[in-house]
Amino acid sequence: MHLLHIEGSPRKQRSASIDVAHAFIDAWKEGHADGTVDTLDVWTTDLPAFDGAALDAKYAGLTGQTRTPEQERAWDAIRALADRLFRADVIVVSVPMWNFGIPYRLKHLIDAVSQKDVLFSFDERGLTGLLGGRKVVVVAARGIALGPDYPAQDFDFQGAYMRMWCSMVGIKECHILAVEKTLYGPEADAESRSAARANAVTLAARL
């Protein structure tokens, strides 16, 4: 078994999403003694810009044209990132909520690798995801709490976006672990993290 942890927070030791993700990963490792873990930090990974040669490579593929050597190099970089997803049985994504959505570096990664014949295919019958059979755990940290003041149907562009992406690439099993009220003071933050870590350990025992 192989687990990929995509770190979407730049806060590192102070990050609630990474804190809870580590609780899940530690518990998962206890149940998978031979399991391996890969960490993809979107803030330190050299994510390929999706313009120029990469964009031309995309449309060359869509139109059936032969890619130039420069375009092939750009596409190889995208496939190398995607391969880290394909190697994983479980994908854990630590995601802080930024402006009710996800951080731009995480969006950059998703935009770069979510390409036809890389993570999905499509034809006149519709879209088919290529990452089927994998399980995703999204640790969604939020400074506020979704609810009466911030209804999820109007304000949750974090968990909803990640569920949509999972569906697009063929992943049917997507679990959301929420860590809320992280900006409501130290006590509320600690209480929320503690509850989320407990939920993470319970979930890890089932996966």
Give CA–CA dist 49/111, Å, rounded. Answer: 10
pLDDT average, residue stretch 107-122:
97
pLDDT surpassing 90 at residue 108: yes
- Cα 58 to Cα 52, 53, 55, 77: the distances in Å are 10, 9, 5, 13
pLDDT, residue 53, reads: 96
pLDDT average, residue stretch 128-152:
97
Model pLDDT for residues 156-170, shown as the tens digit of each residue = 999 999 999 999 999
pLDDT surpassing 90 at residue 92: yes
Give CA–CA dist 106/181, Å, rounded. Answer: 22
pLDDT, residue 33, reads: 94
Q: In this prediction, what percent of the chain has a pLDDT beyond 90?
A: 99
pLDDT average, residue stretch 2-8:
98
pLDDT average, residue stretch 43-69:
96
pLDDT, residue 124, reads: 87
pLDDT average, residue stretch 183-207:
97
pLDDT average, residue stretch 133-149:
97
Q: Where are the domains of the chain?
A: 2-47+91-206
- Cα 151 to Cα 136, 146, 148, 155: the distances in Å are 24, 6, 6, 6
Average pLDDT of the chain? 97
Classify domain 2-47+91-206 at the CATH superfamily level: Flavodoxin domain (3.40.50.360)
